[in-house]
Structure 1
Amino acid sequence: MSRKESPSETLPTLRHVLSRLYPYMRPHRKLLGGSLLALLAATAMKLLEPWPLKFIIDRVVPSAAGEDPATAALAPMTLLALCVAGLLAVIGLRALFQYLSTLGFAFVGNQVLTDVRADLFRHLQSLSLGFHARARAGDLTMRLIGDVGMLKETAVTAALPLLANVLIFSGMIGVMLWLDWRLALLALSPLPLLWLLSQSLTRKIRTVSRKQRKRQGELAATSAETMSGIRSIQALGLEEQVSAGFAGANAKDMREGVEGKRLSAGLERSVDLLAGVGLAVVLWFGTLQVLRGRITPGDLLIFVSYLKHTFRPIRDYAKYTARLAKAAAAGERVVAILDEVPLVADAPDARTAEPFVGRIAFQDVSFRYGDAGLPTLAGVNLILEPGRSVAVTGPSGVGKSTLASLVLRLHDPSEGRVLIDDVDIRSITLSSLRAQICLVPQEPLIIRGTIAENIVLGAGREVTPAEIEDAARLANAHEFILEQPDGYRTEVAECGATLSTGQRQRIAIARAALRDSPILILDEPTVGLDRASEQVVAEAIWHLARARTTILVTHDLNLAARADRVLVLDDGQIGEDGSPSDLMSSGGKFAGLRGGARSSREADRALAS
């Protein structure tokens, strides 16, 4: 059963969101102040709007009939002209001030939330892999695009009108109390009932809005997962099953949306009904007051006009409540990400790394994912000499990729430390650490753009066409690139869908060649390749690895056998360590597996068994 919300829950939530976003607003204080002054001026003009008509009824009409000696000095038509001109001036000024306030608040709101979205995107990239392992990519996209967009829209379409309504509401009540406090209290008597009704219904609206926002995040996550796995879905014939699940969630979102509209409409109509009751009471007792000479007909006109506008903010509050509730839910989701603290971050006294020689040391390193479970690595002690290559192999799940990720500080050790050139890598900045390490992952990043743009991605410097071609030649990619329709200028589809697995891997190797980093990490670079592509990629790998400290994570025992050194991990510890020839002659696990495996695929199966 869902938790019941207190009636005042939205305001604290919005206050928390606004306080978190205030640093983004600080540079725009002057424009915000000017926009607020324009809003106050527009409110004043709104309060003055019925007064020219009051003068016409109280002064012009009696004067024209010879009944008002107080205005005998002015001709009735002159008074009428002045009142009409005053009305036009008030309406014109109100329109101008409203335009200026709306424009100012819209500019600040859009600028602030554009900055928030940029920082949110940057912050998402800084969050640790553990966070991204728990999160759903579609839901994060929904927060980045949909929730920030909701805050942008609400700032202009709900928050600003609501603020204006509050000012108008307060001003009109003040004027009515000044004109006749007894009639004012009578006119406003339905307000307590309206307040109780609005609190009851807005609580329900907030609950529905939050559910709907969460549901929309789940829909975005489901659709993103479906699109990314469309090949497998089609191959397995799961279209109907996946569509049925999406349709069910979509239908729930529709029902929650309709329920929210029903509650809002019910509140609006209740306000209209009670406003009608209040207006009838004012007309009855106000007319009696006019007949008794306690107020003028113009005063009654002011009351009637104000009363219609006094109940409008409450009616509009129902309309804006749903938007504000959605904004509160969206703001919570955005702030929750901004408040997320990266597990891996620069230390306060972190310094820029000196150029690496490439000596890597693991000292009593243990690592576990989360707080529970057995460690993935346990007490690893290891030294990798500069310019040498080490292949890390072993069954799946024994910590091979984790070992490599600790060098990049994608994770920090649970215990122990990792050093490069005798310096703890936690004492240097992440940017200067990763700038000197190059990673060729199992699934390389391929962006939408040209092949040349993908090769220079991450180079961090200006690159000439000749350098791009040299890197492609080193990666054995030049020939297949020339076979493309536009060569190096050929546009690549999203995620490299127009390239084969081997071609994508060779582009990643060419990218690594351009970075010219002293440390190279390759994580399962030949997985999923056919035999011919394996050989081409393997040659490219060893061309790239020359004179670099290279960590090669692989199941391919034939590829591992070409390294200077082989580590066989077993249950998070180093089971075997030595040159390929020494391990083969020792007759250990590596020798047995490689000797019995005629191909890398058989080696993969042997290691996994």
Structure 2
Amino acid sequence: MNQAEASNWQTYGRLLKYAKPFWLAFSLAVVGNVIYAAASTGMAAAMEFVIQAIENPTPENRILITGMIVGVFALRGLGTFMSDYFIAYVGRHVVNALRNQVFQRMIALPSRYFDNNASGRLVSKLTFNVEQVSDATTKAVTIILREGLTIIGLLGFMIYTNWKLTLVFVAIGPLIGVVVNYASKRFRKISRRIQSSMGDITHISSEAITGYRVVRTFGGEAYEKKRFHDMADRVMKQGLKMASTQAIATPVVQVLVAIAIAALVWVMLSPEIRGGMTTGELVAFITAATTMAKPIRQVTSVHAKIQKGVAAAHDVFGTMDEEPERDDGTWAPKRVEGAINLENVCFRYQQQADDVLHNINLDIPAGQSVALVGRSGSGKSTLVSLLPRFYDYQSGEIRIDDHPVNDFQLAALRAQIALVTQNVVLFNDTIAANIAYGDLRDKPREEIEEAARKAHALEFIERMPNGLDTMVGDNGVMLSGGQRQRLAIARALLKDAPILILDEATSALDTESERYIQEALEEVMKGRTTLVIAHRLSTIEKADRILVMESGRIVEDGSHQELLAARGAYFQLHQMQFSEG
């Protein structure tokens, strides 16, 4: 228990360090808290002078007391504004810094992390959890300072006025706190619902997390970081506007109420209606006692607020402390030839005890097209995932142009590979921006159009209301499956990488579209090393080589005709598929 408590305080200490760069704003918030506490105490003490003025209603006293009431409330309002706004300023910047750091770490985490965590949970770290952390760093500190100083000031005044009555008040103080807490429950529930809209933050982060393979393969990390940073800045500024509005609303109302009370006192001090008043000390004491109810309730709620923030911080810091992808390679060629060699490669997923790939040996000369076929779960997609290092293999070695893939800088390695998967990832942007994504965003318009034409996408793009500038919606919701697939192929064509991976790339296409795409792919495969994963064997008959995989092993290797003649596993797959047709 003690160890857990110590860990909590370490986490809270780490959290408070994020407020350190904004020490000036924090200091101004502390000054505001001191002003607020002094004004709250002064407000209670002023009641004695009010009563004296009522008993001796000279014109000078009337002016003095009404001015003092407005002045005390105005001073309290100034303290409230300084405290609320500047602590919110610190809080918004802490949230902004945490969100950017968590997102940047997520972008750099290995594939296994995304396999083990649902995207919705990851997005909640950036939104809800970070917001909870902010409460612990800012609101809790504000309550401790402002309400704590107010309690000390009021209690000191009450003891000075009448220590015996103070003992009675201290005895019933907790009961007052319970009553006030019950009465304000509804208000607290409504207050908790008032938050900045996080829709855009969730949207951008969800896209980048869901499409992390496309982001990495096409060098979109910097673009996604900038897009997220810009949106997070916008949300921060919106939050500050809301904070300033809330911070100024309370003191304005308080000053208006003070003016109303001052007007009432002005009338009460007229000679015609004075008389029959309690002593100034008693009124001042009662005022101090009633004023203390709210700060007592607030201080008692601090521990729960800190614990909630610390729990969220454990989760947020857990992500930030995850090891990023291993990127200690130094080789960064501009363009490789594309020869691929696998030697005794074994691989297993982290959560599995058995290998998924067993002693894979494979030599693919530069420019050769190789098709991988086999039943679902045979290891085809896993094998091609090792090339761009989405996963690191346990043993053996994979080389490109006789250089181990681990010797490559990650960005340089992935720059050599274009990827088209069955599950197409599109971003809520224009068609042109989706084709020229990441490192491709500076490509000329003519090259984008040419890539779209080769992918047989231009024919439907030209029918769109804004052509290449048409927005595709969330993950391409405005497009059919075949259209989305053709945009992904156009993106790969535009990248013009020496190695091309097609993972069920024609699966979402109808027969006619598939025929067009097949022609385009045959054209683009020339001079490139191509790995094609296909379920429909008719799409890979022209491949230079066909590898048949079973249970993580390559069981057959040859051309279409050679494998049919061998009447082995490929022949059985072929017969099964075409007899079904």
Tell me, yes or no, whether TM beats 0.5. Answer: yes
Return closer, same or farther for 1:429/1:165 CA change in 2, 3 Å cut-off.
farther
Return the offset for 1:397. Answer: 0.5
Check whether the contact 1:388–1:548 (CA below 8 A) recurs between aligned residues.
yes
Check whether the contact 2:440–2:494 (CA below 8 A) recurs between aligned residues.
no
Determine the structure 1 residue equivalent to 2:127: 145
| Unmatched runs of 5 consecutive residues or more in structure 1 | 1-5, 66-75, 200-219, 229-295, 603-609
Determine the structure 2 residue equivalent to 1:543: 523
Check whether the contact 2:46–2:284 (CA below 8 A) recurs between aligned residues.
no
Check whether the contact 1:14–1:331 (CA below 8 A) recurs between aligned residues.
no
CA distances 1:267-287 after superposition (whole Å, capped 9, x unpaired) = xxxxxxxxxxxxxxxxxxxxx
Check whether the contact 2:32–2:80 (CA below 8 A) recurs between aligned residues.
yes
Determine the structure 2 residue equivalent to 1:530: 510
Return closer, same or farther for 1:573/1:98 CA change in 2, 3 Å cut-off.
same
Equivalent residues in 2 for 1:292-303, closer than 5 Å: 297-303=279-285
Determine the structure 2 residue equivalent to 1:242: none
Percent identical residues: 33
Aligned counterparts of 2:470 and 2:175: Cα–Cα separation in 1: 69
Q: Note if 1:307 corresponds to 2:289.
A: yes
Check whether the contact 1:475–1:544 (CA below 8 A) recurs between aligned residues.
no
Return the offset for 1:568. Answer: 1.6
Higher relative contact order (CA 8 A, sep 6+): 2
Return closer, same or farther for 1:312/1:479 CA change in 2, 3 Å cut-off.
closer
Aligned counterparts of 1:477 and 1:45: Cα–Cα separation in 2: 70
Q: Note if 1:357 corresponds to 2:337.
A: yes
Check whether the contact 1:458–1:511 (CA below 8 A) recurs between aligned residues.
no
Q: Note if 1:406 corresponds to 2:400.
A: no
**Equivalent residue of 1:446, what SS?**
coil
Determine the structure 2 residue equivalent to 1:379: 359
Determine the structure 1 residue equivalent to 2:185: none
1:27 counterpart letter in structure 2: P
Determine the structure 2 residue equivalent to 1:430: 410
Return the offset for 1:443. Answer: 1.5
TM-score normalized by structure 1? 0.70
Determine the structure 1 residue equivalent to 2:263: none
Return the offset for 1:494. Answer: 2.5
**Equivalent residue of 2:386, what SS?**
helix
Determine the structure 2 residue equivalent to 1:95: 77
Q: Note if 1:462 corresponds to 2:456.
A: no
Return closer, same or farther for 1:12/1:308 CA change in 2, 3 Å cut-off.
farther
**Equivalent residue of 2:355, what SS?**
coil
Return closer, same or farther for 1:380/1:429 CA change in 2, 3 Å cut-off.
same
2:347 counterpart letter in structure 1: F
Q: 2:477 aligns with which of 485, 497, 513?
A: 497
Determine the structure 2 residue equivalent to 1:443: 423
CA distances 1:196-228 after superposition (whole Å, capped 9, x unpaired) = 9999xxxxxxxxxxxxxxxxxxxx9xxx9xxx9
Q: Note if 1:35 corresponds to 2:26.
A: no
Aligned counterparts of 1:171 and 1:352: Cα–Cα separation in 2: 67
Aligned counterparts of 1:536 and 1:186: Cα–Cα separation in 2: 90
Which piece of structure 1 moves more, 20-29 or 150-159? Answer: 150-159
CA distances 1:130-174 after superposition (whole Å, capped 9, x unpaired) = 333333333333443344445567877776346422221233234
CA distances 1:12-52 after superposition (whole Å, capped 9, x unpaired) = 89756644444543322222222222222222222222223
Q: Note if 1:560 corresponds to 2:540.
A: yes
Equivalent residues in 2 for 1:46-195, closer than 5 Å: 46-57=40-51, 60=53, 64=56, 77-78=59-60, 81-149=63-131, 160-161=142-143, 163-190=145-172
Return the offset for 1:466. Answer: 0.9
Aligned counterparts of 2:381 and 2:330: Cα–Cα separation in 1: 27
Check whether the contact 1:357–1:386 (CA below 8 A) recurs between aligned residues.
yes
Return the offset for 1:351. Answer: 3.1
Aligned counterparts of 1:35 and 1:588: Cα–Cα separation in 2: 78
1:353 counterpart letter in structure 2: A
Determine the structure 2 residue equivalent to 1:474: 454
2:333 counterpart letter in structure 1: E
| Unmatched runs of 5 consecutive residues or more in structure 2 | 182-201, 211-277
Check whether the contact 2:178–2:297 (CA below 8 A) recurs between aligned residues.
no
Return closer, same or farther for 1:425/1:304 CA change in 2, 3 Å cut-off.
farther
**Equivalent residue of 2:459, what SS?**
helix
TM-score normalized by structure 2? 0.73
Return closer, same or farther for 1:134/1:46 CA change in 2, 3 Å cut-off.
same
RMSD between aligned residues: 3.8
Return the offset for 1:178. Answer: 4.8
Q: 2:20 aligns with which of 10, 21, 26?
A: 26
Determine the structure 2 residue equivalent to 1:73: none
Return the offset for 1:339. Answer: 4.0
**Equivalent residue of 2:171, what SS?**
coil
Return closer, same or farther for 1:35/1:195 CA change in 2, 3 Å cut-off.
closer
Report how many residues are paired.
487
Return closer, same or farther for 1:300/1:488 CA change in 2, 3 Å cut-off.
same
Aligned counterparts of 2:549 and 2:124: Cα–Cα separation in 1: 40
Return closer, same or farther for 1:409/1:196 CA change in 2, 3 Å cut-off.
farther
Return the offset for 1:365. Answer: 1.9
